[in-house]
Amino acid sequence: MGILIGLTELLLYLSFSLLMGALILLLVPDHLKPPVRVNPKLIQACALLVTFGSFLPVLPIVDLLSSSRGWGSALIQVIFEFAVGRAFLLTALFSMLLLLIWTSKGVKEKAGLLYLSLGLVAAMTASYSMAAHAASIGGSAGHVFHTLHFLGASVWIGLLLMVSWYAVSKKNWGSFLRWYTPTAATSLIVVFAAGYFTMSVDLYSFGDPDMNALEGYAQALPSNYGQALLVKHLFVIGILIFALMNGVLFRKKAGDQRFNPLPWTKAESGFALGAFALTAAMGRAGTPNQEGTKGEEASFLYRSFTGESGSELIEVTMSFGPVSWMLGLIGSLFLLITIASAVKRPSLGIVTAAGSLMIVSFYLAVMTAV
């Protein structure tokens, strides 16, 4: 069940992004975007996936309670008394309203219904965020910041996904970049600012009010959550590199008929999909234990590097030695190769491989320092 919920959560993040990206593009004039196919069935499928994905986390709790009061009574209790149940209920209601709108004919040509649909997706995002870790730990502030984090990522990545995979051609690419680049930059600022708050809430669950975010980050590394968080942030570096290339370095090539930007944006969306997968893994792993992580409970990856296996709590001390610095230098070289390859002689294969090796090198640099 845990693997199924994780996979469904990945599809749920993807669905939110596609909904946001598709609806925004439908509201943008044709001369400011590449020709993009938006099939109403895509909107309908995403609305159904969001409903299904938000329901799955309810099932384990219902199964746990059903042994003493029956499955139906347990389901009602979870939906109305648990945060995850209330989140599902509201998300499902908004999703069904969206689905109802998109079963009508000609909805793509009606601006009022498009704005209403966009508002419903925002409401679905806020509803689903009610069950997030940050909302559970940080209350209303955690809920607001998680919603902002989710919305920022959905706008940024959603537009990227729609243009990468549903654009018919690169027509109007320069005009598209002129508004997409600042939109993506603004979304990125929101993602980083809100993400820092939600990360701090999750990592402060160790219960030490004097622990700063960096110390909490290090102490979380033994846990599955901390490992997924570290790799996710490394994937974000890869996404930012591709964003720099696609939004800045390749801008002057927009009018070059020989250059096709779509394979490059597809590669960027691949790194984004990796970040979504790691976010889903973090959701399934849960926040680090308040007391810390025992050696025997540590992540397989962490134990592979440190050999921790006892019942004592792990106290992480970062110490960058020659091996760590060398791996960090190798990662930096791969970073330079990634950018240089894009500038001098754009090769998607070399850039993607160098970006992937950069992630691996930086990860090893961190893990050899614990």
Beta strands in 158-198 (DSSP E): none
> Distance (Å, rounded) from C-alpha 235 to C-alpha 230?
9
Could you give the dihedral angle defined by the CA atoms of residues 181, 183, 186 and 187, in that order, rounded to the nearest 10 degrees? -110
In this prediction, residue 192 carries a pLDDT of 92
Residue 79 near residue 34 (C-beta atoms within 8 A)? no
> Distance (Å, rounded) from C-alpha 222 to C-alpha 220?
6
According to DSSP, residue 249 is labeled I
In this prediction, residue 282 carries a pLDDT of 83
In this prediction, residue 216 carries a pLDDT of 76
The closest alpha carbon to 61, from 146, 124, 131, 130, belongs to: 131
Amino acid at position 317, single letter: T
Residue 328 near residue 368 (C-beta atoms within 8 A)? no
In this prediction, residue 279 carries a pLDDT of 87
The closest alpha carbon to 127, from 55, 74, 71, 196, belongs to: 55
According to DSSP, residue 204 is labeled G
User: Would you list the DSSP string of 251-287?
Assistant: GGGTT-TT---HHHHHHHHHHHHHHHHHHHHHHHH-S
Give me the helix-helix angle, 111-128 and 133-166, nearest 10°: 140
Task: Name residues whose C-beta falls within 8 Å of residue 138's C-beta, 6 or more positions apart in sequence.
Answer: 145, 197, 198, 201
In this prediction, residue 320 carries a pLDDT of 86
Amino acid at position 145, single letter: F
Which tokens sit at 289? 């234990």
Could you give the dihedral angle defined by the CA atoms of residues 19, 20, 26 and 29, in that order, rounded to the nearest 10 degrees? -160
| Residues with pLDDT less than 50, the chain | 205-206
> Distance (Å, rounded) from C-alpha 42 to C-alpha 25?
14
Cα 186 off chain centre by? 16
In this prediction, residue 255 carries a pLDDT of 75
> Distance (Å, rounded) from C-alpha 195 to C-alpha 243?
19
Rg (CA), the chain: 22
Quick: pLDDT tens for 207-224. 555 666 677 788 888 888
Please name the residue that has the structure tokens 């944006």: 265
Task: Name residues whose C-beta falls within 8 Å of residue 215's C-beta, 6 or more positions apart in sequence.
Answer: none
Environment class of residue 83 by beta-carbon count within 10 Å: exposed (0-12), middle (13-18) or buried (19+)? Answer: middle
- Which H or E run includes 238? helix 224-244
According to DSSP, residue 288 is labeled P
